[in-house]
Amino acid sequence: MNLIFNWSLRRALSVVVGISVALLGASRARAEDDAKPSAASAPDEAAGEDAVEVVVTGTRAVENRSRAVVRVDVVTRAEARRRGATNVGEAVSGELGAEVNPSAYGALGRPSAAQMGGLDRGRVLVLEDGERVVGDFGGAIDLSKTSLSGVSRVELISGPTSALYGSSAMGGVINVISAPPEREGWSGRLSGEGRHRWGGAGLGELAYRAGGLWAAAEASFYGSTGVSLEPPDTALPDLYRVDVGLRAGAAIGRHDVGLRVRYGREAAMGLDAQEVPGLGTFLVDLPERTDRLSIRLRERLVLGEGHDLSLSASKQWFWNETARDRQGSELDEVRERFHTMHALEATGSFFQGQWVSFLVGGRGEVESFHQSLTRSVFASGEISTSELVEVPPTQLGGGAAYAQIRFDPWDELSVVGGARVEGSARYGAAVAPRLAVAVHPTASLTLRLSGGRGYRAPSAKEVGFTFDHSAFGYKVLGNPELSPESSWGFQADVVWRVERRLELKASGFANWVTDLIDLRLADQPSGVAGVDAYQYANVGEARTSGASAGVRARAGEWVRVEAGYSYLFTRDEGEQRPLPGRPPHTLLVSASVDTPIGLSLYARLRTVLDAYLDDALRAPAFSTLDLRVSQRTWPGGSAYAGVLNLLGVQKDAGRPGDQRPIEGRTFYVGVEADLPPES
């Protein structure tokens, strides 16, 4: 099977290049995230923890992070680099509020999906610059498929945020945010690194800014060899990933226009050994290819001081092809998935900066999905090829209206209330309210409390899926009678900045989920003797709760230390047992040293205790230790080296339910440079 650039890639790139070239000649600056912060509002990576950070995801408005009404955790670009991350999944995996463990989703192909507040897969909403990302695997968005090229920061919010973002925002929101270039004139960034286990990564960015006029282009590459825990089978395949993106903006009078185009391709080749009774062992190649193209056009119209209207139109295409190619045999199968989404959204903000302000908006979207299987089998003395429609072309459309009002009667108090009404022809209307309060008794103390409703509409797969694995004794069926999931959730947190060099924080949450969707044995027989039929169904209720505490301190101007602990409790009320695969205890400790001579050291230890899988099985506890050292070698440039998972913990293929990392220990060295060099 040809995994190299085929006609679909050439066609996608022609669309990217054509649109981008047309725009670059007439574009001026604008911010690409949902609340449109200016370039000056982006966090200064060199300024450290005392820099003023802004966040936009919690309320769709620019806020100082320390005074935000809703708690927002932020992973900056600089922090992601310190963690040795090459993609968003790796950048987020070090956060206490988000568990990213691909080994927990082996049945789905090990995507780097996030758990937040004990909820996962389709219950955690992933956004890029405020726009929902499509192309899930079993309901899970794979964060490793999003590179860090062009990314300014990643914002994370725990708890139901359906009042602003709609379906799937039950457990939380992860928003990957880009930003315009900060420098006037030409600027850029280059980096390259080599890795062992063998692989490499490269990133290049080039931008131009002249007053309000700006444009930016990004490209990245990542490749790695596979991992075999039980040769010849591969637990992780050989992999390469390429991403290209173009962004630009134009400010003309009261109009602020921007366009973002991004294309990504990932190709992988795994290997599986299959025992066939009477015929011996066959080696099966497992090629996979994923393409994703997204285009978004946005405009912000300034209506007056404190008033503006934002309009956006976007479309995403997602193609995925997986195959089982038996070596020396024509008995193969190819599975193809195609997912698209069109969306239009309008949001108006009024009286910003006043003691009473409000926001209103509306959104319409149409999502389409289909999945097919082409299989060659040997029957009646000859090879025949058949095509099975696993998910018939399914289209889900809907509209939503939302509103939010904010009160800031005093500097010490902020109150935000809002609601969203979302409806579809299939599921009717759903209402999601939310209320949040932030109190600042002193300049160094912040207390927050929020609560709201979340919901999730069934996906096209859950409605129309037919996954026929009769050869392995089971089938999976969709269910057009599914009802949406819904939840109520509450969060509270306190942040106390004891002094400039010491900050303490603690938080807690609770969620109640009803009409939980899961797989159960189907009522109707499969039609094939000895084959069980499973079907998606609303199976009952679940609840999750937890607490976390952390400290951040500085010892002099060089050393920073951060430590935190989180506890998670989950319960499947129908089965009277914990939700599987959710580790209840997580501990995180990190330290960094930045010296005046340009030498920087970084260490991060993460410990995850054992997790419930079933009544007779638990996932083992493990710890990972990451180290990195970098040296500024020339103005604007540095060389670095590091190791991920220094302790070398690794999944045991012979131990059922083992969720430890598959990769094992990984060393890397690289160089990076900012252009032009800083003076």
For 412-421, the CB contacts below 8 A with 24+ separation are 412/439, 412/440, 412/441, 413/437, 413/438, 413/439, 413/440, 414/67, 414/69, 414/438, 415/69, 416/59, 416/69, 416/70, 418/163, 418/164, 418/359, 419/163, 420/162, 420/163, 420/164, 420/166
Answer yes or no: is pLDDT of 132 > 80. Answer: yes
Average pLDDT over residues 422-444: 91
pLDDT for residue 530: 54
Which 8-state DSSP code applies to residue 47? G
Q: Look up residue 439 and give its two tokens.
A: 């109190």
Q: How far is CA 158 from CA 65, 98, 161, in A?
A: 15, 9, 8
Q: Kind and range of the H or E element at 310?
A: strand 307-326
Integer distance in angstroms from the first to the last C-alpha of the chain?
51
Q: Is the dihedral of CA 649, 653, 656, 659 positive or negative?
A: positive
Q: How many helices (H) and strands (E) does the chain have?
A: 5, 35
Report the distance separating Cα 17 and Cα 6, nearest Å.
17
What is the band of 25 on the pLDDT scale with cuts at 50, 70, 90? very low
Report the distance separating Cα 622 and Cα 338, nearest Å.
37
Question: β-pairing, 428-442 with 413-424?
Answer: antiparallel
Answer yes or no: is pLDDT of 12 > 90. Answer: no
Answer yes or no: is pLDDT of 24 > 70. Answer: no
Answer yes or no: is pLDDT of 22 > 70. Answer: no
Answer yes or no: is pLDDT of 75 > 50. Answer: yes
Phi, psi of 89 (to 5 degrees): -60, -45
Residues written for the chain: 679
Answer yes or no: is pLDDT of 40 > 50. Answer: no
- Contact call for residues 287 and 1 (beta carbons, < 8 A): yes
State the greatest distance between any 2 C-alpha atoms of the chain, in Å, as a whole number. 83
pLDDT for residue 108: 66
What is the band of 565 on the pLDDT scale with cuts at 50, 70, 90? very high
Report the distance separating Cα 112 and Cα 99, nearest Å.
9
102-137 burial code (b ≥16 CB/10 A, e <16): bbbbeebbbbbbbbbbbbbbbbbbbbbbbbbbbbbb
Q: Kind and range of the H or E element at 162?
A: helix 162-165
Over residues 260-295, the pLDDT tens digits come to: 999 999 999 999 888 777 667 889 999 999 999 999
Q: Is the dihedral of CA 4, 6, 11, 14 positive or negative?
A: positive
Over residues 629-642, the pLDDT tens digits come to: 999 998 889 999 99
Strand ranges (E), 159-237: 172-178, 185-196, 199-210, 213-224
Answer yes or no: is pLDDT of 678 > 70. Answer: no
Amino acid of residue 352: Q
Over residues 581-635, the pLDDT tens digits come to: 899 999 999 999 999 999 999 999 999 999 999 888 999 999 999 999 999 998 8
Answer yes or no: is pLDDT of 6 > 50. Answer: no
- Contact call for residues 289 and 266 (beta carbons, < 8 A): yes
Answer yes or no: is pLDDT of 227 > 90. Answer: yes
pLDDT for residue 513: 94
Report the distance separating Cα 594 and Cα 596, nearest Å.
7
Over residues 287-328, the pLDDT tens digits come to: 999 999 999 999 999 999 999 999 999 999 999 999 999 888
pLDDT for residue 469: 60
- Contact call for residues 412 and 439 (beta carbons, < 8 A): yes
Bond preceding residue 583 cis, omega within 30 of 0: no
- Contact call for residues 205 and 220 (beta carbons, < 8 A): no
Tell me the percentage of the chain whose pLDDT exceeds 70.
Answer: 88
Pseudo-torsion of CA 172, 176, 177, 183, nearest 10°?
140
CB-side exposure of 332: number of CA atoms within 13 Å?
Answer: 16
> Which ranges constitute the DSSP H helices of 35-107?
77-82, 88-92
Question: β-pairing, 532-555 with 474-477?
Answer: parallel
Q: Higher-confidence residue: 7 or 614?
A: 614
pLDDT for residue 500: 87
- Picking from 456, 449, 412, the residue whose alpha carbon sits closest to that of residue 434 is 449
Of the listed ranges 360-374, 378-392, 409-423, 441-455, the least confidently predicted one is 378-392
Over residues 499-532, the pLDDT tens digits come to: 989 999 999 999 999 998 887 777 655 454 456 7
What is the band of 259 on the pLDDT scale with cuts at 50, 70, 90? very high
pLDDT for residue 139: 77
Contacts of 26 (CB under 8 A, 6+ apart): 250
